Structure 1
């Protein structure tokens, strides 16, 4: 490797990056001037519910592929082997469950805010809890997503970091504000294509330099990086087939099934079948999006199996390895460094635009209409656009202070991830049982959140150690040292990334007992455990409440409950009818029940400005 691998943009690199921003802005302007010109809420937030499968699938994929995905997953696989690849299976399982159980209900209700279901099924407090959790998660996450690529661009171009943040936030907020959901979806299609091209360029260059991908794979096999068959039943083992394929499904269900920025887009499809095909295509694309970073990691190891950059002191954190590779192998090739930076920015722009639009939808539906239920269509649409701008400014502020917050941001983001399991449990209680009531669900949710916070704090205070795969420095030379400019950027960037590779990598100290052993639980099981706690405690608490106070028993319309027997008939149908009824899986309802709940539906529907279809 060359003695000086300084990151720098040439003319072609600048052209590629500017072209990316111009195309994204042009798409926003196009949809601002086309059709209804985003004058109605239905067009602005839901694209008139007229979207086709392919652009929605690409938009969903673009939201998944953030700058953290591009930089974090390759580092994880390079450091710890290819077990991560099994997440592709959990993605597919999550999509299948979403299409079978969650999507039909949400699409039937014609919701804009997915949390409106919680008010229909339980009460307004449950709806606001979902809104607050989404706010915390999205605002912190989007601030980090903007921060990372902006710091990269300021380093390779000499542009000030503050100017870069303003540039990205202004452009993204601009086309999201004027173009609505249609602009978000179609810019995502373009930006997703750019991000994929960046990965493909790395794979092609790596294959050329090593005489084919077969040689790359052999090098990884010799280095012990190729691992797929860890079937250990121990939940403390960080990555196993069971932990990733089963536990990982719960992680992605929180994102695919009940997260506003995903649900909003597939509900904007023109029909239920179109929405289903969008998710099927999304599932196929997730396999590709999971595979490409893993293949990039295999290429990284082929380059550095004899001289690990971190061990040699050229980078300070594992997450810096992807950017280091690009700067190294693409030096002297005009346009390719710009392509990589454009890929990071494409991922950041797509994630941010989707987040801004979903934040506006949630604010309008869950808060604004609760305060002003009779707000006019014109004023409400204006409020939505102002909300996008306001959140854009707030996220810019989060990007500015991300470096100062550093590890605090990482910690807070970890806590928001812990909330995914409890929220999934709340939706599960509402969708899959008729026994769950508001009080019981609240108890289950609170118990799960408290347990999750205790678990996460304990794992941070007493982190588990694990045995890292071996890395070598026998091939390193002093002349290989990268310049300090890259090291400064990368160390600043990785302070705010949250990837699994952030866990300690010391030599394994052996199994731990008692509470310390429990803190060793793999992160892949967090959502599964917390969802199970929320549902089991909530279900039991609901039964106890109805038994103790039968006069206050809530009326539940089975039209808001998913008939699990339809999706899992091979399992539920085997139970006796009496057991199914006691467990709350029956669909029987009385006319009094229908009459009582219809009044509630009408009240909530009118406050949301729509007529909910419950037939």
Structure 2
């Protein structure tokens, strides 16, 4: 399709504004401290909005409404885990990282368990973030190509170059302040969608609630204690451990703790990010729920969406899917943005999707550059490098991460199954990383050997739990007796607990080399 000139101007104006804002901070990023932690001068509320913006990446904008459309509110239990995860982070993680004396999250792991732990941590982070950036660029290209008619390659290269340049020039301060703007734009976009669909219901806004309720769309899932299906408890536990991983060992989060002027401000930023996301997450679920009612009340529009879904499958050389709610859920919102919005609003919503994508890409690039300098260059190559050389390493690694992310996104065009396999494998390693971090937090007696034993046991457990997903990507083939009976979201829960419990047990059999926290 061809966008109206007004919409194109809105998109261009927004992108230029964000780029200019990022470049505004170039004068404050001429030192390593300014580049990596903004000199510790950013207010807690801005850091909190940045944390909030990181959660609201492009998949939240599109996948959450699609999930609510196709199923119900069961996945909202993930969001409900955030307050408890934030409390744990404020109670232990923020203080631990602020008192460590290092911006590196993995310096603590080396002090606690030895060089192997640091190397393991940084390798997991860099590889996961590399593919994460590529995956986000690829996902955004899929959506924006549908909305604008632009090619995937053009969108990926343009978005990747834009974010890389302002991140390299403006540092973490540029990242955080642009995240503030982008989180506001994204929230505004969600509100526009919500209101437009609500007031376009044939019988008024109340009809949206009635239709959704009649089809059990408000359900949070079963409140039983079964862990083999997605009961309410499963996404709640998954969210607690996944959010704990972000707050505890997520390099971009640890970097934000140091960007705040005090531990108190850093703690406030965690609470602000978590508590803002809770109602906004509910709003995105509401968007999906109302979209369901909207298309049920406009069957002629639903037929158009189904035709578009079928055509895309044919274009990709696949069989047209059975048109269930789940099959069309991810497509209803893009189709509504294209055909259901007035001029100007379409441009703003596309800008909001760009905002979500950039908010998810700029932080990994800055934090990966920090990891490259502190955990690789200074740790293994040149510990005594000066300020000028350090800044050169930060800029080069930012550019390198940007180029690599674009390359990954381009490579994913037409090969989505590769991405599924990678996310499964990366989950195996990152789950064990959270386990070793928690082991060091809960036990001062855990030795280096115990930590290594715990990680080994955790990796084996997570690998076994992940086998069904690997089977889906044709990497392995399993007999029924070997399949993990638990829901896939329980993988990180069981894996982390395995690392901690085995590590604690091994601590009773090993001595020495145990450094207190």
When normalised by structure 2's length, the TM-score is 0.90
Residue 296 of structure 1 corresponds to: 287
Residue 72 of structure 1 corresponds to: 63
CA offsets 1:223-267 (integer angstroms, 9 cap, x no match):
1211136211110122x2222223320111111221101121122
**Which runs of 5 or more residues in structure 1 are unaligned?**
1-6, 464-511, 547-552, 561-615
RMSD: 2.0
Query: Which residue, out of 390, 399, 402, partners 2:400?
Result: 390
Residue 24 of structure 1 corresponds to: 18
| 2:380 equivalent to 1:376 | no
Asked if the contact 2:436/2:499 (under 8 Å) is kept, the reply is: yes
Q: How does 1:509-588 map to 2 (within 5 A)?
A: 515-516=482-483, 519-546=484-511, 553-557=512-516, 560=517
Structure 1's 104 and 86: CA in aligned 2 closer, same or farther, altered over 3 A?
Answer: same
Asked if the contact 2:466/2:488 (under 8 Å) is kept, the reply is: no
Asked if the contact 1:95/1:280 (under 8 Å) is kept, the reply is: yes
Pairwise CA distance, 1:439: 1.5
Report how many residues are paired: 490
Structure 1's 514 and 214: CA in aligned 2 closer, same or farther, altered over 3 A?
Answer: farther
How many Å separate the matches in 1 of 2:296 and 2:146? 27
How many Å separate the matches in 2 of 1:337 and 1:169? 22
How many Å separate the matches in 2 of 1:214 and 1:378? 62
Asked if the contact 2:305/2:335 (under 8 Å) is kept, the reply is: no
How many Å separate the matches in 2 of 1:23 and 1:462? 43
Greater per-residue helix proportion: 2
| 2:338 equivalent to 1:346 | no
How many Å separate the matches in 1 of 2:246 and 2:304? 33
| 2:345 equivalent to 1:336 | yes
How many Å separate the matches in 2 of 1:52 and 1:208? 38
How many Å separate the matches in 1 of 2:514 and 2:385? 30
Pairwise CA distance, 1:155: 4.4
Residue 256 of structure 1 corresponds to: 247
How many Å separate the matches in 2 of 1:310 and 1:100? 51
Question: Considering only CA atoms, is the larger Rg found in Structure 1 or Structure 2?
Answer: 1
Report the secondary structure of 1:209's partner residue: coil
Query: Which residue, out of 167, 173, 182, partners 2:158?
Result: 167
Residue 188 of structure 1 corresponds to: 179
Residue 364 of structure 1 corresponds to: 373
Residue 335 of structure 2 corresponds to: 324
Asked if the contact 1:149/1:341 (under 8 Å) is kept, the reply is: no
Residue 90 of structure 2 corresponds to: 99
Residue 225 of structure 2 corresponds to: 233
How many Å separate the matches in 2 of 1:285 and 1:295? 16
Pairwise CA distance, 1:426: 0.3
Range 119-128 or range 209-218, more displaced: 209-218
Query: Which residue, out of 224, 238, 242, partners 1:247?
Result: 238
Q: How does 1:393-404 map to 2 (within 5 A)?
A: 393-404=403-414
Q: How does 1:436-455 map to 2 (within 5 A)?
A: 436-455=446-465
**Which runs of 5 or more residues in structure 2 are unaligned?**
311-326, 474-478
Pairwise CA distance, 1:539: 1.6
Query: Which residue, out of 140, 143, 154, partners 1:152?
Result: 143
Residue 322 of structure 2 corresponds to: none
Pairwise CA distance, 1:362: 0.7
How many Å separate the matches in 2 of 1:288 and 1:27? 28
How many Å separate the matches in 1 of 2:221 and 2:23? 50
How many Å separate the matches in 1 of 2:204 and 2:275? 26
CA offsets 1:65-108 (integer angstroms, 9 cap, x no match):
12111111111111111122222220111111111111111111
Asked if the contact 1:422/1:445 (under 8 Å) is kept, the reply is: yes
Residue 603 of structure 1 corresponds to: none
Structure 1's 408 and 221: CA in aligned 2 closer, same or farther, altered over 3 A?
Answer: same
How many Å separate the matches in 2 of 1:432 and 1:309? 55
Asked if the contact 1:223/1:305 (under 8 Å) is kept, the reply is: no
Residue 79 of structure 2 corresponds to: 88
Structure 1's 460 and 390: CA in aligned 2 closer, same or farther, altered over 3 A?
Answer: closer
Pairwise CA distance, 1:278: 0.7
Report the secondary structure of 2:209's partner residue: helix
Asked if the contact 1:251/1:524 (under 8 Å) is kept, the reply is: no
Pairwise CA distance, 1:114: 0.6
How many Å separate the matches in 2 of 1:123 and 1:164? 43
CA offsets 1:464-521 (integer angstroms, 9 cap, x no match):
xxxxxxxxxxxxxxxxxxxxxxxxxxxxxxxxxxxxxxxxxxxxxxxx98544xx341
Residue 433 of structure 1 corresponds to: 443
